[in-house]
Homo-oligomer: A and B are copies of this chain.
Amino acid sequence: MNNLTDKNIYWWRPLDDRELGTRGEILFAAYKEIHWQGFQSASLSNILARTGVTKGALYHHFPNKTELGYAVVDEVISEHIRLSFVEPLLEFENPIDGIIELIQSSGDAFSMTDVELGCPLTVLAQEMAPIDEGFRIRLIKIYDLWHQSITDGFHLALKNGQVRDDIDPDTVAMMIVATMEGAMNAAKVAQSLDKLYLCGNGLIQYLELIRKKQDKDKRI
């Protein structure tokens, strides 16, 4: 019935399986349960069933459900976004090329399960931001990190003459993050990779539009 028990079927895989330890296993199982059900509806019994760990162990490592949720955000989701979106961008000379590359490669790597569950950040943001400040400040930290990394990239691109002079790095970065989140949302509802590709192409075309002309010609 629940096909998410397997540890490695989806892309939003945050940790290595090996050597998690009890705490890590709980954290990982909680992450999956939350990604799937949301935080409030995430059942501790389900998490325990996933792992085979007992309630005593859970409450030995975490004082309560909320703190377990916080730990999932801090240690699992945050790290995943950093490794998937922030770090890789630093590798590229031109952030426009980097983002295009990231869009395409993650699009290729996505399974249907990834599409169905969508971005774990958005799941928690939509559910918990209005009702729990602890979640909200943690989530905003991750979004800001992501957003800032793109902003920095475009500041550099501006200096290097890789983008049109009239763009504002902050605004463009906001656009990119928002569009990617929105794209994953649309694909999730439609349960369709095509929606993701469609929006990915739109975003790539947008990026080509703000690329500096001489740079555009140089590349061809």
**A-to-B contact residues, CB < 8 Å:** 36-38, 40-41, 116-118, 122-123, 125-127, 129-131, 136, 139-140, 143, 167, 170-172, 174-175, 177-183, 185-186, 188-191, 195, 198-199, 201-203, 205-206, 209-210
Contact = CB atoms under 8 A, between A and B. Distances in A.
A185 B125 contact: yes
A176 to B, nearest CB: 9
Q: How many copies does the complex hold?
A: 2
A177 B37 CA distance: 25
Contacts of A167: 205
Contacts of A185: 122, 125-126, 178, 181-182, 185
A195 B174 contact: yes
Contacts of A202: 171-172, 174-175, 178
A171 B205 contact: yes
A174 B189 contact: no
